[in-house]
Chains A and B, each alone.
Chain A
Amino acid sequence: MTDISQMPDAAPTTKPKGGSLFEKDARTKRRNAAESRFKMYGIAAIGIGLLMLIVLVTNIVTAGTGAFQQSFLALNVELKADKLDKKGNRNIEDIKKVSTFGYAPLIASALESEVEKLGIQTDLKPKEMGKILSKAAQAELRNYVIANPDEIGKTVSFRFLVNSRVDGYMKGRVTRESIANDKSISVEQLDFVDQLRDAGVLYKAFNPDFIFGADASDQRPEAAGIGVSMLGSLFMMLVVLALALPIGVAASIYLEEFAPQNRLTDIIEVNISNLAAVPSIVFGILGLAVFINYMHLPTSAPLVGGLVLTLMTLPTIIISTRASLKAVPPSIRDAALGVGASKMQAVFHHVLPLAAPGILTGTIIGLAQALGETAPLLLIGMVGFIASNPPDGIVAGFLSPNSAMPAQIYEWSKRADPAFYERAWGGIIILLIFLVTMNTIAVLLRRRFERRW
């Protein structure tokens, strides 16, 4: 701007610099260059932002898809009656007496005969051969026998999970070089795995247990699943929905439609906007101090998690509900009042139904936010708990200890075996699928029911 004002001063006394309007002088060139540089900065900033998004998403997809596949070994196991049911009367109590350990010889001999049948040459001892299988295999076999005692004495074909190192080898995560200092697997065993794979009995397949199964202990990453913690998240979301929606809508109706202009209203409004910005971990401290330490609600219970997340989501729901109540034009209220409705009737019969799609959208977005929240759950003990059994019933679902999806992911990320990292990424894929679905539903609802007045 300054240069423009200087130009006229210079003009009358000396010859105009630069001359032609068609030729750009040095200053114009510089200014134009600055202009395009500035524009480039903007494009670069957006580019970096989008690049980060792409890197994040590709990273999640490439690192996590492996968790949905698992390596299995197909084996025909003879369920020898003399080992499993010595008395021969098929009494379920007697069969249960055989411990998991007692099933190991069955699997070992099945593996041995399979190796003989396929004609695989190996120097491994049968015990070392058996080590490529997961520690979960024997328990799986035992559960099968207890569920189907009639099958004792027959030969049944199974597909057993293999150990996480072998699975990692099949997926390319473990190589012959990387196991140099690894005591749990040897190069010979990997050669053996190669032979089994070429014979087609060791193969990768879709693993539904990752999605629906329970978490497993440190030693068995291959058997860990996210299903039980998904149930924990579900019960938490039910608590949040049952509490946050009615309370949030009631609070918004009061503030938007009935609240007088006084100090109490001001305090409430300031409070709500401040609560929306309180770090989520502070809500965790509140939950620990009030719900667990003071009220003695059970630790790690989805009920407590739900209560904490309710307090956290309330401001979000209140803010969006107020916005959608505000969007209903005053003429609707005036018309209702005009034909004799009371203020309460005008709100509940006319304004609220018209604002319902907006409220629903806000609630879904609030729930999505609560579903992904982790920090408060750390403090109320939903981490560190191995969610190995699904809850027995609805009451137990709310009250018995459980994990939640993000807490489960965090738990996996802390464990030592790198095989759990793959599961953590896989868990994130599932979590993001839920979030994307919820947000899409919210957007579709808004598109479908949005009214312009």
Chain B
Amino acid sequence: MALSWLLLILLALAVIGFFAGRSRALASAGGNVRDLHSLPSYYGYNVALTALVPAVGVLIVWLLAQPMIVNSTVSSLIPDQAVPEGSERGLIMSEVRRVAYGLDGAVASGAMTETQAQNGNADIEALTKTLKDAGQVLTQDITQPILVAAQKFRSMTSTGTVAMQVVVLALALLGAAFAYLRTHKEFRARNVVEQGVLALLLLAASIAILTTIGIVLSMLFETMNFFQLHSWKDFFFGSTWAPNFRGGSELSILPLLWGTLYISVIALLVAVPIGLFAAIYLSEYASGVTRSVAKPLLEILAGIPTIVYGLFALLTVGPALVSMFGDGGALGVGWMASSNAVLTAGLVMGIMLIPFVSSLSDDIINAVPQSMRDGSLGLGATHSETVRNVILPAALPGIVGAILLAASRAIGETMIVVMAAGAIAKFSGNPFEAMTTITTRIVSQLTGDTDFASPETLVAFALGLTLFIITLGLNIFALYIVRKYREQYE
């Protein structure tokens, strides 16, 4: 029985429960609605929710827990000597899963009977041949321990699935019966239902916390695994980034951090002056019409997906810069060898950040009280002197906050740097050279065939955690500054 059928049965049970509970409540009041404590539909909702919510809750927890339990049990079945030299337990486990799915597929397509699939002493060559003939994908040769483990995997998974279905259905039926029997005209159905709904609302709100915990835990575990395989000193204080999948790689974050910061600084050098002056002009000088046209147009830039900026950098800005600064370019300087460069990524990222800086600064400048402007103008200052000497100092903390938020955006930006920054990790001050960033390396270490046991893959989690902490720190600091400033004039 597939999961979708189970869910459909649960839903049907809930619907039946709704009508049953409702009519039982009406019957207990002799058909007179006014004798009931709550509206009749609340009795229905009570039965439906009591049937559905615990069952679905158990279903979700079971679905999450079962693979972990099955995996760890089956993994302990494989003896250490069955793990070949240079391979990893995780790789063997994925092979076990593949064989198990292959057996499932072969049984489902009728190429093999259930007893054949469960036969632990089966002839391995014959089995491999049957599986391959049935069109199942196998990458390695099946060995005896793998076959036994795969059979154990299959039997545990199928037992687990049957048990899950039984437990979930029993829970749903029990819940429905319990709520149905409780239904009586004196029963305070509305209060119970509202309590339940409130609990569900709280659960939904907690998903934000769960996500954060998920992010931190998933990265923390793999980061700890990484530091067991690779020295943390090299990661934080080394000077070279040279991953080598045959081992002996040097994985230091510092060159990546340098590239990230360099590109971010160029982006901010573009975005901050333009964004700030645009915000000043829009909030202090522009007429209502100009403002209502220019502001949404600028904000379009913020709504464009980053893949578009990435392509723009890769195919337009990069070649344009090469034709200016490259060999035989318009300036004849020959500084730039390839279109992948810090400058390319930084410029385009700067364009992306303009609306970010301008709309945040705009809000902050508008929050400066009008009386301060009036006072300054009344003393004879020109408009620009008012802006420079009164408004900007007053808005400065907020603007700093906005710039920090933009910086955190720039540090975490992925697509532009993946497409336009290049792949060479080095300390260099030349903006015409290709350099790489933290996000670029996360993408390149985690795409393709990933082996979760090698430091070259796991380093991506350590990089991700560092990135998460840097951006989070910048954000919290920036929000703190902005909030503190906003309260000043309220």
Interface residues of A (CB under 8 A from B): 1, 4, 31-32, 34-35, 37-39, 41-46, 48-50, 52-53, 56, 59-60, 63, 246-248, 250-251, 253-255, 258-259, 267-268, 271-275, 277-286, 288-290, 293-296, 311, 314-315, 318, 342-344, 368, 371-375, 378-379, 381, 383-384, 395, 406, 409-410, 413, 421, 424-425, 428, 431-432, 435, 439
* Contact partner, A277, options B214, B405, B439, Cβ 8 Å: B405
B201:A374 contact, CB within 8 angstroms:
no
* Contact partner, A378, options B411, B443, B472, Cβ 8 Å: B443
* Contact partner, A34, options B218, B384, B413, B475, Cβ 8 Å: B384
B277:A395 contact, CB within 8 angstroms:
no
A253:B305 contact, CB within 8 angstroms:
no
A295 contacts which chain B residues (CB < 8 A)?
Answer: 63-64, 67
A259 contacts which chain B residues (CB < 8 A)?
Answer: 205
* Contact partner, A424, options B202, B280, B284, B311, Cβ 8 Å: B311
Which range holds the interface residue count of chain B? 35 or more
A253 CA to B199 CA, complexed, in Å? 12
Can you show 24 pairs from A to B with CB atoms below 8 A apart? A1-B389, A34-B385, A38-B383, A45-B278, A49-B301, A52-B301, A56-B351, A247-B204, A254-B198, A254-B202, A258-B201, A277-B405, A277-B408, A279-B411, A282-B464, A285-B215, A288-B450, A289-B219, A373-B305, A374-B306, A374-B414, A410-B419, A425-B311, A431-B308
A271:B4 contact, CB within 8 angstroms:
no
B303:A39 contact, CB within 8 angstroms:
no
Query: How far in angstroms is the closest Cβ of chain A from B345?
Result: 14
* Contact partner, A35, options B274, B298, B384, Cβ 8 Å: B384
A274:B472 contact, CB within 8 angstroms:
yes
Contact A32:B301 (CB < 8 A) given known A275-B212, A285-B461: no
Contact A290:B297 (CB < 8 A) given known A49-B278, A255-B205, A314-B207: no
Contact A311:B355 (CB < 8 A) given known A273-B479, A395-B4: no
A385 CA to B315 CA, complexed, in Å? 22
A410 contacts which chain B residues (CB < 8 A)?
Answer: 307, 310, 415, 419
A253:B201 contact, CB within 8 angstroms:
yes
A31 CA to B300 CA, complexed, in Å? 36
B464:A431 contact, CB within 8 angstroms:
no
A406 CA to B200 CA, complexed, in Å? 35
A277 CA to B383 CA, complexed, in Å? 35
A42:B205 contact, CB within 8 angstroms:
no
Asked if B285 is at the interface (CB within 8 A of a chain A CB), the reply is: yes
A439 contacts which chain B residues (CB < 8 A)?
Answer: 303
B379 contacts which chain A residues (CB < 8 A)?
Answer: 1, 4
A285:B219 contact, CB within 8 angstroms:
yes
Nearest 8 A/B pairs, CB to CB: A279-B412, A42-B281, A372-B305, A45-B277, A250-B204, A38-B384, A289-B218, A254-B201
A428:B208 contact, CB within 8 angstroms:
no
Most chain A beta-carbon neighbours within 10 Å: one of B202, B305, B355, B409: B305
A286 contacts which chain B residues (CB < 8 A)?
Answer: 211, 214-215, 218-219
* Contact partner, A271, options B190, B212, B315, Cβ 8 Å: B212
* Contact partner, B467, options A42, A282, A288, Cβ 8 Å: A282
A267:B447 contact, CB within 8 angstroms:
no
Asked if B169 is at the interface (CB within 8 A of a chain A CB), the reply is: no
DSSP class of B's interface residues: helix, strand, loop or mixed? helix
Q: Mark B267-311, 1 if CB is under 8 A from A, else 0.
A: 000000111111011101100000000100110110111111011
A413:B447 contact, CB within 8 angstroms:
no
A282:B412 contact, CB within 8 angstroms:
yes
A272 CA to B443 CA, complexed, in Å? 25
Q: Write the chain A residue with the least CB distance to B442.
A: A281
15 A-B pairs besides A314-B208, A314-B211, A371-B305 with CB distance below 8 A are A4-B379, A35-B383, A38-B383, A42-B278, A49-B358, A52-B354, A53-B297, A53-B301, A274-B212, A279-B471, A281-B442, A282-B467, A286-B219, A288-B446, A428-B308
A268 contacts which chain B residues (CB < 8 A)?
Answer: 205-206, 208-209
A135 CA to B380 CA, complexed, in Å? 77
A290 CA to B212 CA, complexed, in Å? 13
Asked if B247 is at the interface (CB within 8 A of a chain A CB), the reply is: no
Asked if B249 is at the interface (CB within 8 A of a chain A CB), the reply is: no
Q: Write the chain B residue with the least CB distance to A277.
A: B475
B443:A413 contact, CB within 8 angstroms:
no
* Contact partner, A56, options B200, B221, B312, B471, Cβ 8 Å: B312
B382:A32 contact, CB within 8 angstroms:
yes
Asked if B448 is at the interface (CB within 8 A of a chain A CB), the reply is: yes
A372 contacts which chain B residues (CB < 8 A)?
Answer: 304-308
Query: How far in angstroms is the closest Cβ of chain A from B99?
Result: 15
B277:A285 contact, CB within 8 angstroms:
no
A38 contacts which chain B residues (CB < 8 A)?
Answer: 383-384, 387-388
Q: Write the chain A residue with the least CB distance to B387.
A: A38
Most chain A beta-carbon neighbours within 10 Å: one of B204, B355, B472: B204
B413 contacts which chain A residues (CB < 8 A)?
Answer: 279
B208:A315 contact, CB within 8 angstroms:
yes
A68 CA to B207 CA, complexed, in Å? 43
Asked if B97 is at the interface (CB within 8 A of a chain A CB), the reply is: yes
Asked if B452 is at the interface (CB within 8 A of a chain A CB), the reply is: yes
Q: Mark B34-68, 1 if CB is under 8 A from A, else 0.
A: 00000000000000000000000000000110011
B208:A46 contact, CB within 8 angstroms:
no
B433-490 residues at the A interface, CB under 8 angstroms: 439, 442-443, 446-448, 450, 452, 460-461, 464, 467-468, 471-472, 475-476, 479
Asked if B222 is at the interface (CB within 8 A of a chain A CB), the reply is: yes
B355:A49 contact, CB within 8 angstroms:
yes
